[in-house]
Amino acid sequence: MASNLPDYVASAQPVPEANRVPWYKSTAQTYAGIMLWFVFWESVPSSGAPGAGGILAHGLMTGVLGVIVGAFLCHFASYLAPGMMGMKTGLPLAVVGTSTYGVNGGFLLPGFFMGVLQFGWLAVNAYFSAKLLAWLAGFPEGSAVHLGIGVVWALVAAFVGLKGIHYVARVATYLPLIPLVVLLILAGKTASGVGSFDPGSVTGGAEPLGSFELFLFAVANIVGFFATAGAAGADVASSNRNAKDVQLGGLWGVAGATIFTGVIALLIVAGAYGAGMVTGGQEVVLKPTELMKFIMGEQGAKLFWLLLAIAAFPPACFSSLIAANSFKNTLPKVNPFISCGIGTAASIVLVLSGKAGDAAGVFTIIGASFGPICGAMTADYLLAGRQWPGPRAGFNPAGWLSWAVGFVVGAWNSLFGPLLNVQFQMPCPPVAAILVGFVLYAVLAKIGLTTRQLEMPTAN
């Protein structure tokens, strides 16, 4: 009965049919904006072993294939099932997730946890945006100026996210055009060198990893980055009209935008080296933002750094907004300024410690955390006949056990393997975490390790 539901579930109202919009007015542009964030695409070429040529160490084909496979995994394995459940119910992730984790468990996972992880994203955004602004002023990464800008950036973004996001939203639709234009200009400037690219020019004399290893690193980087955004498909697609909107929004905004930005980033790096823009005596550089000074000159690079930092500000605000909404849903009696203030303080610690600068490490932990969620929600959706099953009572064992094992698998290389002093390296951890979440949830649900379903008056 509805009386058995906690307030955050019982009071949830679906998005009305009259407010539903086409995929190209919501889902596609939302996700394209995420994948156009410079922190994502600048990390693609350096995936794997940056000191040994990254994923370009064996040429373009390995990297391009990794980007394409990773992009379609993001769409089909991370986004699609949460998006379909969000569209069919009109309900947010915090409520949709109660079928997989229970109405008590859903409070924590994915509800509260989604809010917590947003402050990791805020820290990454603040660190890298501040790095560009510090370069603009002539100060290196890790300097007091860089870290100081990062602290201010996090504080202002958190405040705007709490109080003034409607103002930022007015321009956020257009700001993703900035990195799009930057990428196209850089690609045009370096296109002549792509055909002459020699992988040996980026290895620095080091022995590169094998082609398949680099392919897996490329896939892992992309899937790990996208994990939380995939689960958030329930929120994003809840305003879509039908299944076609969900599919097209993901194919263009998730897979399409990822392939576009990831491949162009690879072409820019390959073209810069192939055209001889980065010559002998220079340290091997694999990030397009760092190559801008060779491609565009000092002044052109400074202009691009400024523009990319400006374009990154609304995503920082949106991270704070998502966190605030998660906390309002799960901690309605706690003032959002207190809960978000604590989260912002944690973001600042990550910035000052430099840990926010390890984008690949952050992607790995986020993939480990939310990969099993996406996998389990997909299994839950398919087992229910491609519908939302409805909320389940208490803590649903199938969801929590699949998440726990999936998290261990996803974080094995960076956390549990070293902790247990085990040398085994998990291949492609974010994808492995999704697979474990999917398979284990399906098996546990089939043998009856699910709690009873509760009536949801507002479910479609």
CA distances from 159 to 37, 122, 136, 344 (A): 21, 12, 25, 10
- The residue written with tokens 């990254």 in the block is 54
Higher pLDDT, 321 or 126: 126
306-310, 363-367, 369-373: the lowest-pLDDT one:
363-367
pTM here is 0.92
237-288: pLDDT as tens digits? 999 999 999 999 999 999 999 999 999 999 999 999 999 998 655 678 999 9
pLDDT in tens, 75-104: 999 999 999 999 999 998 989 999 999 999
pLDDT of residue 442 exceeding 70, the answer is yes
Q: What angle do CA 336, 339, 340 make, to 5 degrees?
A: 75
Average pLDDT over residues 50-63: 88
**pLDDT tens per residue, range 212-236:** 999 999 999 999 999 988 998 998 8
Decide: helix, strand or coil at residue 387: coil
The residues near 388 (Cβ < 8 Å, ≥ 6 apart) are: 85, 88, 89, 91, 96, 99, 381, 459
Query: Tokens at residue 214, please?
Result: 């680099």
The fold of 22-446 is: Hydantoin permease (1.10.4160)
pLDDT score of 3 = 56
Integer Cα distance of 202 and 308 in angstroms: 25
Q: What is the DSSP letter of 232?
A: T
The ranges assigned to domains in the chain are: 22-446
Q: How far is CA 407 from CA 217, 229, 436, in A?
A: 18, 17, 9
Query: 1 pLDDT exceeds 60?
Result: no
Its sign, for the CA torsion 234, 79, 38, 344, is: positive
